[in-house]
Amino acid sequence: MKYSAATHVGLMRSTNEDGHCVFDLPSWPAMLLAVADGMGGCEAGEVASALALQSVREFLERQQPPADPGGWGEVLRLAIRFTNRRVYGEASTAPGYRGMGTTLTVALCGRDRAYTGHVGDSRAYLIRRDSIAQLTEDHSLVAQLVRSGRLTEDEARYHPQRNVLTYALGTEAETRIDIRAHSLLPGDILLLCTDGLTSLVTDPEILGVVSSEGDLDRAAWRLVDLALERGGMDNITVLLAQAPGMDGGVRP
Ligand code: CA
């Protein structure tokens, strides 16, 4: 898989609490992609996101992949549960880290399938030709209100409580973890990002940038630039990975 990542502190904050990783798991026929958006004062947010990424990676490195790829999702769930306990343990014992937490959105990508594992309001998308589909459901108060029909997408974008999460990693001993399986076709693009992008750039705009840029690096930075042009209120992270195309081309 080709991949590219872009991250920026934004225009309003002094530290970047977002983290991301792309990692080829040695014993798996798969690649690990992940983004995490940390929260908690005095650098605790950075610690939470970095610890989550490190911990999910270490867990998967120690596992042999199940012979049946249908079992990958369950291993990913165990990896995220382990990670939640580790961040929660650190948050409850280290005085400076009390209350820290993070989002975590992971994609375990094989040749023709991907599993997403998700907690919080970062997102994974699948871009296939001229379509974009959100693969994850935001664990946020406003997303819940949108799903129940009490808010529109547009109202949610400007809602004063738009940053309130219903689930996060590391804030409770157990958390909700969404695992989903997706099939991958040649040329498909997976996009993982933090809410610093999606609070300012809409899904059709994301699709427009990715399908008009012929190059993953340029697309990732163009998306970051778009969020910056609109105020860059938060840290912004974008990760793109593309399944090999039939002709090796970059475009979806
Ligand atoms: Ca954020």
Give tens-digit pLDDT for 35-50: 999 998 778 999 999 9
CB under 8 Å to 167, separation ≥6 — which residues? 119, 120, 139, 175, 176
Q: What separation in Å is there between the alpha carbon of 197 and the centre of ligand 1?
A: 8
Q: What separation in Å is there between the alpha carbon of 242 and the centre of ligand 1?
A: 24
pLDDT, greater one: 154 or 104: 104
Q: What separation in Å is there between the alpha carbon of 14 and the centre of ligand 1?
A: 13
Cα–Cα distance measured from residue 26 to residue 163, given in angstroms and rounded to the nearest whole number: 37
Q: What separation in Å is there between the alpha carbon of 103 and the centre of ligand 1?
A: 9
For the segment 126-154, what is each residue's pLDDT rounded down to a tens digit? 999 899 999 999 999 999 999 999 999 88
Q: CB–CB of 192/239 below 8 Å? A: yes
Q: What separation in Å is there between the alpha carbon of 69 and the centre of ligand 1?
A: 32
Q: What separation in Å is there between the alpha carbon of 101 and the centre of ligand 1?
A: 12
For the chain, the average pLDDT equals: 94
Residues with CB under 5 A from ligand 1 (ion): 37, 194-196, 234
Q: What separation in Å is there between the alpha carbon of 178 and the centre of ligand 1?
A: 19
